[in-house]
Amino acid sequence: MTLKIRCCALNSDQGPHFPALQEAGFEVLPGNRDRNFWDESTLISELDGCCAVIAGSEPYTRSVIEGCPYLRVIARTGVGFDAIDLAACDEHGVVVTTTPGVNHHSVAEHTIALLMGIARGFPDQDQRVRTGNWKRIERPRVMGTTIGVVGLGRIGRAVVTRARGLGMNVLGFEPYPDNEFCREWDVELTDLDSLLSRSDYVSLHNPLTPESHKMMNAERFAKMKAGSVFINTARGGLVDEPALIEALKSGHLRAAGLDVFDVEPLPTDSPLTQMNNVLLSGHVAGLDIESQRDTLTMAAETIIGLRNGEWPSHCIQNLKNVTDWSWTK
């Protein structure tokens, strides 16, 4: 049977993975961008006969896994895999892989872009100039303020180094911290409630798990410092969106910068789209030219390695303690 791979991730229809996979004997198929991959039956149809998929944030539910009997690898571009039913993949021997260590600089830069945009009054200032309604509004300087970084993995640490470069004080919440890094970059480790109450900016960089689902709820937003800013480039499921909207409407939060949402794409009738103190982007924080090149290369190398009997454990997120997996079921 032909070794077919479908490219479902956005921006994956061309790149270094194509020649690498083709040279290894795979047939690489671009994704049909006119189709809705968030619909189970559509995704199953798109993956018909495929042994692997270069996956984006589209959901790989149990129904999708069971509807794709030839599927051996879901190669997720990026590090998040919360949209994949790992239990179903374990049962059917489908390997779930990610591309760690390739997009943390991109996400960190995007986080700082949102922070600085908000700090200098965007998008409100942009819209005022466009309509001829100029207004000079003084805002707090970023230097000397405090950022609370929730999660100090690769991305959180990359945010820390940039925030320190801006002259910010840094608080960190991390269950398993790199203490040497924290000492080097003068990060004060603290509990989450203290971080929320003391930070002028709070930025999420922790994974979405059953325990962290909706961790930022009404109670936690109430604990944030009055007039502070909330930034999320991690996962939309970490946030109770109605609670965030209420905190913004009430004025308790000054603003928010959001790249991820509970429902994606963000519905156009969401109140977030009508707020001039909210800066929005469409789940693109991890996307720059360098990270895109490297993530597609790593995804291809991982698939090829698995096909050749290798087990790149640093990229594999399921089938723990499995020792007898093979490409042919």
Distance CA 124, CA 214 (A): 28
Residue 90 has pLDDT above 80, yes or no: yes
pLDDT digits (tens, 9 = 90+) for 152-171: 999 999 999 999 999 999 99
What pLDDT sits at residue 329?
75
284-to-6, 9, 62, 74, 308 alpha-carbon distances in Å: 21, 12, 27, 20, 32
**Would you call the peptide bond into 19 cis, given omega within 30 degrees of 0 as the criterion?**
no
Task: Select which of 235, 241, 254, 307 is catalytic.
Answer: 235
CB 235 within 8 A of CB 207: yes
Quickly tell me which residue has 């109605």 as its tokens.
Answer: 242
Task: Provide the pLDDT for residue 131.
Answer: 96
Domain boundaries, the chain: 4-102+288-315, 104-280
Our answer to whether residue 283 is catalytic in this structure is yes
- How many whole angstroms separate alpha carbon 167 and alpha carbon 162? 9
Q: How many CB atoms lie within 10 A of CB 305?
A: 15
Entry pTM: 0.90
Q: Which of 17, 154, 283, 307 is an active site residue?
A: 283
Catalytic pick from 109, 198, 264, 293?
264
Distance CA 240, CA 258 (A): 13
For the residues of 286-315, what is the DSSP string, one character each? T--HHHHHHHHHHHHHHHHHHHTT---GGG
Note the pLDDT of residue 224: 98
CATH classification code of 104-280: 3.40.50.720
Q: What is the mean pLDDT of the chain?
A: 96
- The topology under which CATH files domain 4-102+288-315 is Rossmann fold (3.40.50)
Is residue 235 among the annotated active site residues? yes
